Amino acid sequence: MFFFVIRRLLAGIPLIFLVFLGIFFLVHAMPGDPSDFYIKPESPPAEIQLIREQMGLDKPLLVQLGKQSWNYAQLEFGKSFSKNVDVSKLILEALPNTLMLSALSLFLIFTLGTLMGILSAVKQYSFLDKGITLGSLFLYSMPSFWLALMMVYVVAHWFPSWPISGMVGETIRMKEAAIAESAMLNLPLPAGVAVGFWERIVDSLQHLVLPAIALGVAPAAGVARYARSSMLEVIRMDYIRTARAKGLPGWKVIFKHALRNSLIPIVTLLGLYLPFLISGAVLVETIFAWPGMGLLIVEGIFLRDYPVIIANGLLLSCLVIVGNLLADVLYGVVDPRISYD
């Protein structure tokens, strides 16, 4: 297994380089120039040239490619054009938020989808099975960004107290402002202003629920269809009939004997849905103003911030490669008969 993982990681290096080339030439093919945001109409040519030199845009395209390739090989992503801070700092701030959203969405996808598929298979051809099938097809047909917009509309009208944007609620934001003001003026902290650990966790989860649902509902419906087909195939096998003939409870037969073998096709979907989550997160994070890498990329595109776009796109591609590798490794965990040696 160890050598298999090493081989896959080494094989991913040329793929990452090809992705870098594609992103690099695509962003430079975008209309407009990043320096246009910082050049005034009355700016003299010397000032314009100085701004372009500071951004590294005065060099030929192939020279810029070679310099950025060398910097990226040393994990140096440069500075953001728009924020004038290291891109690595922006990524370190946004990456945990995207991973948090993707992790919760994955949990929702495979937990809800698998349970729906198992229930549908166990109650085959019943009204429950038909209802789950119809609901799964309906949810699977909805794009994540459309569902996100509908959720914003519904929640804003029917549940106005529920947070629908950002990552921090107004109450915690006001408390943090009061804490910062007290520290700046060297005053004692007012009573009841301190932000507790669990208060912050609950607040973050409330902000995370809507984007996770918008991102995970449609894939969960797809997983439900796969889980139903796989479970129907497994429960017809001889060893399941034997387990039932021994008098084992139905739930024990399903969850202890049938579930593990039925999960093998489901694990395959992990490598397929991770790219979907990452690409879908770009729009969902923008709609809900969730401060992740998707929102960072969208802001970078609007501002022609080449270092931000390239670095984030490259890192998201690495996450996709790691996700596919994780799916391959999980095959061996779910089915011990699979060997990579």
How far, CA to CA in Å, does 254 sit from each of 123, 324, 337?
12, 28, 21
For residue 196, the enclosing domain spans 2-31+77-334
Q: Give how far the C-alpha of residue 72 lies from the chain's centroid of Cα atoms, to the nearest Å.
A: 23
- Total count of domains within the chain: 1
Q: How far apart are CA 217 and CA 204, in angstroms?
A: 20
C-alpha separations of 51 from 117, 262, 304, 308, 311 in Å: 58, 59, 15, 18, 22
What is the reported pLDDT for 106?
87
Residue 25 forms part of a structural domain:
yes
Integer-rounded Cα radius of gyration of the chain: 25
How far apart are the C-alpha atoms of 323 and 275, rounded to whole Å?
A: 8
Joined tokens for residue 51: 């701004």
Structure tokens at 247: 């008098």
Residue 68 lies in a domain: no
Q: Is residue 37, in this structure, part of any structural domain at all?
A: no
Cα dihedral value 325, 331, 337, 341, nearest 10: 0
The domain spanning residue 19 has which CATH number? 1.10.3720.10
Report the amino acid identity of residue 138.
Answer: F
In a domain, 50, yes or no: no
Whether 341 is covered by a domain: the verdict is no
The confidence score (pLDDT) of residue 141 equals 85
Q: Are 116 and 130 in contact (CB under 8 A)?
A: no
Res 195: pLDDT: 67
The answer to the question of residue 64 being in a domain is no
pLDDT, residue 43, reads 74
Residue 23 lies in a domain: yes
Ranges of residues in the chain whose predicted pLDDT is under 70 = 1-2, 4, 169-171, 173-183, 185, 187-197, 271-272, 275, 279, 331-341
Q: What is the pLDDT of residue 167?
A: 78
pTM of the model: 0.81
Q: Measuring CA to CA, which residue among 302, 297, 306 is closest to residue 27?
A: 306
- For residue 59, being part of any structural domain is answered with no
